[in-house]
Amino acid sequence: MEAEQEMTRRRVMVTFDVDGTLIRSTGSASNHLHRQAFAHAFLRVFGLQNATIDAVQVAAERLPDMKTEMLKYAREHVEEIGEGLEVLPGVASLLDALSSSNVVIGLVTGNLEEIAWMKMDGLGIRKYFTVPNFGGFGSDHIDRGHLVKIAADRAKELYPEGFDLRVHVGDTPNDIKAAEYGGALAIGVCTGVFTEEELKKSSCGSAIILSDLTDSKTFMNLLGIEG
């Protein structure tokens, strides 16, 4: 009976956006290390001070240099990774429940891959993610939709049998659009700056919008898994 249940268990893969979905910035030191790494890289590559992640559009041809400098700075200051960041309510419990149910869990984020995993490590939630770690990252492509596909391709290499359901969870319209473009069920969460209505409008109509990730049972039920 147990073997039969194992054979019929749904194969589910879930990817999460990072900032605004799993974690949030807090206080005057908001997302401290990431912002400092960006400012350091911009100074080293372009000779400009006080550049911010949000305000500057970097010339594409210099992106490899920017990434190199950002990672160098982040590695040298990794002990600061949790400063100005915190895990959002319910996230650790949900990740634990998914992991315990053999759901394959990865990331899809605009963060550089190494910095994304530094954040997961520093905030104590990397242990819940599938090993080997996988995902789609800003170091792979600038288009979020492609990142969903990249994550799926990497997961397929780890699990050649494929999945009955792929899901991407995020807090922005771009996450919703990316999920649908990448062939995943979109689950939006209102834990960032966008409202339920704004997230719904960004969808082709199939997205599911939650207020947050505090109700693990409801989330698991959406995946067809008993919570």
Per-residue confidence (pLDDT) for residue 2, from 0 to 100: 43
Cα angle 175, 128, 220; round to 5: 60
Confidence grade of residue 6 (pLDDT, cut at 50, 70, 90): very low
Mean pLDDT value across the chain: 87
Cα angle 206, 176, 121; round to 5: 130
pLDDT digits (tens, 9 = 90+) for 130-174: 999 999 998 898 888 899 999 999 999 999 999 999 999 999 999
Contact 112, 71 (CB under 8 A): yes
Task: Judge residue 190's burial from the number of C-beta atoms within 10 Å of its C-beta, 0-12 exposed, 13-18 middle, 19 or more buried.
Answer: middle
Per-residue confidence (pLDDT) for residue 1, from 0 to 100: 38
Asked if the model's pLDDT at residue 60 lies above 80, the reply is no
**In the beta sheet, which residues pair with residue 187?**
169, 208
